[in-house]
Amino acid sequence: MNEILEQTPVAPLEAPVAPLDATQGGMDEKIVNNVIIRIAGDGGEGVRTTGEFLGIVLGRLGLEIFKTESLPAEIKGGPSMFQLRAGETKPKSQGSYLDILVCFNDEVYQIHKADLKPNGVLIYDSDCQVDDTNENALKFEVPFTDIAKKEAGGARAKNMVALGAIAGLLHVDTDVVDHLIHQKFDRKGEKIVEANLLGLRLGREAVSHMTGEVPFRIERRASKEGLIMGGNDAVALGAIAAGIGVFAGYPITPASTILEKLAALMPRFGGKVIQAEDEIASLGMVLGASYAGLKAATSTSGPGVSLMIEEIGLASMAEIPCVIFDAQRGGPSTGLPTKQEQSDLNLAIYGGHGDAPRIVLAPANIQDCFDMTIEAFNLSEMCQMPTLFLTDFYLANAGELIPEPDLDSYEIINRARPTAEQLQNYKRFELTETGVSPMAKPFDDATFYIATGLEHNERGNPDISPAAHRKMSDKRHQKLQVAVDYAERKGTFARHYGDANSDIGFLTWGSTEGAMQEAIDLAAQQGLSASQLHVLLMNPLPERAIREFLQNKKTVVVAELNYTGQFAQRLRAALNIPVDSFTKCTGQPFTPYELLQQIMFLHGWDTDKSDPVLSQVARVQHQRQVPAPMPGHDGQDEAMAGAVAVSRI
C-alpha cells in the first residue's frame, strides 16, 4: 500500500526563490499566497491539464490547495472549467468569488463572467467579447489560440500557453514549472517536451509587460510533505487499505475513475477487478464474492443504485456484507451527469421494498473519502449488511493536499467467523444479543449454508411463519445499534464547529461542511455567532450527538444540495425535531457567501446592514488591513460598514 501512496506525492523542491519586490510595477502591496483561479474553456482544450499542472506547481511551492471542476456531459466539447484555490492555510472549500478568471473563448466568458470579483483579474483570448459586467476588473487580452497556432506548433498547445501566462502573472518560479513538464513528458520524447516548454515560454513572454499590475503573487514557503489526491482516488486507496478482495463495477459518471483506479492497483495486492455488463451484474458479483468470504464493493451513481435496489434488499435479507460507493449527481433520470447534487439520500436509506436495514455514510472532504471508506468496510463487515457510501460530483472530482496516511493507525475489522464448536451445529442466522451471527466461509470452514432472499430460520432454511418473520426482522434491525455503538465509541461520525453556545445551529452533511465552516468564520468576524454539527453517519443516525447539539438552539437550519430537503425530512421523521430547511438545487455547490447570507438573516440583519459587508466579501482585498468598527457605530460611513472587517473568501 505504501508504494501506491507514493505515486502522487508533492515532492519538495529545494532551490530557494528570491522574492520579487512587492512594489514592482507601482503596486504598493501584493496579496501573497492567497488566490482563487478559474480556468474555463471547451472540453478538449486542455482546461483540466492546465489546472492540474498549476495545482501541482503551487503544492510544490509549499501552498495548501483545493481544486474542483465542472465538466460537460458531452464526450467532446461543451463548457468546462477547473477551479483552484491556493493559500498558506488549508482551504475548506472552493471559495465564493474569483480573483482570477482565465477564458479560452467567448462562450465560457459569458458563462463565468459574473463570478469574477468586480476588481478581479480577467485573462481572456482574443475572441472574448468583454462587456460592462467586468468593467472594473483588471483585464489582459492574451491571444492563446493565435500564439499556439502560429508559434507553438498547433492549437493543442493553447493550454501550455495559458499555463505559462498564469505562472508569469503570479511570479511563479520558471524552474518549478519546467521541472514538472519534464516529469510528465520525458517518457514521450524530447520533441514533446520541447513543444510544451515552448508553449510555456511563449505564454510568459505574452504577459511579461503586465506582471507588475497583477495584485497577486506566489512565494515559496517551507514545503509540506503530502499527497495531492482526488476524492475518487482516495476512495480507491481507502478500499485497498481496508483489505478489499473483489471489486465489480460498470462505468458511470462521476464514479468511473474508482473502477479505473482499482483496476490498475488491485492486482498488485492480489485483488480481482471485473467490469460487468451493467450495475445489476456488478452488485450480484460483489454479493457472490462476499458470500465466498472476501471483502467486496462496487461503485456507481444514482441511476445505478436504482438498478441495484433489489439486490441491496437481498444483501440485507441474507446478511451479506458489501460496500456500494454512490458518487451522486444531479437527477432524476439521466439528469445532470456532470453536476453537483445531494439527492440520493432517500434512495440510499429507504430504497427497496420491505424493511431492509442498511448503513449509509457520507464523507465531507478528501481525507474523509479515505478514512470513511475504511469505516464503510468496517461497519459492513461488523454488522453484516450493505453499506452505501455517498460521495458526490464535487468530492469525486475535487482534490486537495492531504497528509500521507499512517496505515498502521487504522482499525481494520473483519466479519465474525464461527468457532470449531459452533460449526458442529452451525446456524448461520443464529439469534444473538447483538443480532450479529458468525458468518462461515464456504469450503475453508468445511461447511456451506443457504443465503436466500426468502425469509428463513436460523439455519437459513425458508420459513415464512409469523414467528420467524418477526424474529428475523428484529435480528436484522438490531444490528443497526451495533453501528451506533461503534460510532459513539469512535466519536468521529459527527463533527462540531463554531460557537457551541450560539442559539443558531446548522446541520450539514456531505461536501457542504467546508463552505459552512468558512461562513461561520466570516460571521464571527462581524460578531455573529453560529454553530455547526456535521453528520457523517446518515443511517442509523447518531441520535445522541444530534440531540446534544440541539439542547441550547432556538433555530436549527439544515443546509443541503437537493430540492426537497431530504436530510431535514429525515430528522423530522426519525427524531421528531423541528428544523428549518435551506436548500440549493442548481447543479452547483454552496459557497461560503451564500451561507453567510443565511447567518446574517437569522441574526436579523436587513439588506441595508448586510449588503455592505457582503459586497466587500465579493471584492479583492489586500492582506494588511485594520478591522473597521462594527456596523452601526457612531461616525462610521454607512456604505463601508464592516467592509474591511471581513476577510477575503
Specify the pLDDT at position 287: 98
Do 205 and 160 share a structural domain? yes
Specify the pLDDT at position 24: 35
Residue 549 near residue 505 (C-beta atoms within 8 A): yes
Measure the CA–CA gap between 416 and 366, rounded to whole angstroms.
Answer: 30
Q: What is the pTM of this model?
A: 0.90
531-535 and 494-498 beta bridge pairing: antiparallel
Measure the CA–CA gap between 60 and 66, rounded to whole angstroms.
Answer: 14
Do 169 and 86 share a structural domain? yes
Specify the pLDDT at position 5: 53
Q: Is residue 22 part of a domain?
A: no
272-275 and 246-249 beta bridge pairing: parallel
DSSP state letter for 460: S
In three-state secondary structure terms, 583 is strand
Q: Is residue 444 part of a domain?
A: no
Do 166 and 56 share a structural domain? yes
Residue 89 near residue 106 (C-beta atoms within 8 A): no
Do 598 and 555 share a structural domain? yes
Do 210 and 95 share a structural domain? yes
Tell me which of 409, 437, 471 is where a domain ends. Answer: 409
Number of domains in the chain: 3
DSSP 378-429: HHHHHHTSEEEEEEEHHHHH-EEEEPPP-GGGS---------HHHHHT--TT
Say which CATH number the domain at 623 has. 3.40.50.920
Closest CA to 113 of 132, 141, 85, 140: 132
Q: Is residue 423 part of a domain?
A: no
Q: What is the CA radius of gyration of the chain?
A: 27
> Which residues in the chain land under pLDDT 50?
3, 6-27, 623-649
Residue 11 near residue 226 (C-beta atoms within 8 A): no
Specify the pLDDT at position 622: 52
Do 635 and 581 share a structural domain? yes
* Residue 571 CA, distance from chain mean position: 23
Q: Is residue 142 part of a domain?
A: yes
DSSP state letter for 95: -
Residue 529 near residue 499 (C-beta atoms within 8 A): yes
Do 279 and 205 share a structural domain? no
Do 296 and 199 share a structural domain? no
Measure the CA–CA gap between 146 and 167, rounded to whole angstroms.
Answer: 19
Specify the pLDDT at position 22: 32
Specify the pLDDT at position 4: 52
Q: Is residue 488 part of a domain?
A: no
Residue 103 domain boundaries: 34-217
* Residue 407 CA, distance from chain mean position: 21
The CA–CA distances, whole Å, from 519 to 51, 484, 529, 594 equal 26, 30, 10, 8
Do 249 and 202 share a structural domain? no
Do 303 and 179 share a structural domain? no
Q: Is residue 454 part of a domain?
A: no
Tell me which of 352, 379, 409 is where a domain ends. Answer: 409
Residue 299 near residue 285 (C-beta atoms within 8 A): no
Do 253 and 180 share a structural domain? no
Tell me which of 149, 183, 217 is where a domain ends. Answer: 217
Closest CA to 230 of 377, 401, 12: 401
Say which CATH number the domain at 302 has. 3.40.50.970
Do 626 and 527 share a structural domain? yes
Angle between helices 279-291 and 302-318 (to 10 degrees): 30
Specify the pLDDT at position 615: 80
Say which CATH number the domain at 43 has. 3.40.920.10
Q: Is residue 466 part of a domain?
A: no
Q: Is residue 179 part of a domain?
A: yes
Specify the pLDDT at position 643: 27
